[in-house]
Amino acid sequence: MALMDAELFMQAMDVAPSHWEALEAALRRMPGVQFVSQRVQEGPSAEVCVQIAFDPEVTNPVAIKEALGRDGFTVLSARESNTADESAAR
Q: Strands, E, within the chain: which ranges?
A: 4-11, 33-38, 47-54, 75-81
At 34, which CATH number? 3.30.70.100
User: In Å, what is the CA distance from 74 to each residue of 41, 50, 57, 78, 83?
Assistant: 18, 12, 25, 11, 24
The total number of structural domains that make up the chain: 1
Domain interval for residue 83: 4-89
* CB 30 within 8 Å of CB 53: no
Cα separation, 56 vs 51, in Å, equals: 15
Taking only the tens place, the pLDDT of each residue in 41-50 is: 777 778 889 9
Using CA of residue 10, residue 20, residue 6, residue 48, what is the dihedral sign? positive
Taking only the tens place, the pLDDT of each residue in 23-79 is: 999 999 999 999 999 887 777 778 889 999 999 999 999 999 999 999 999 999 999
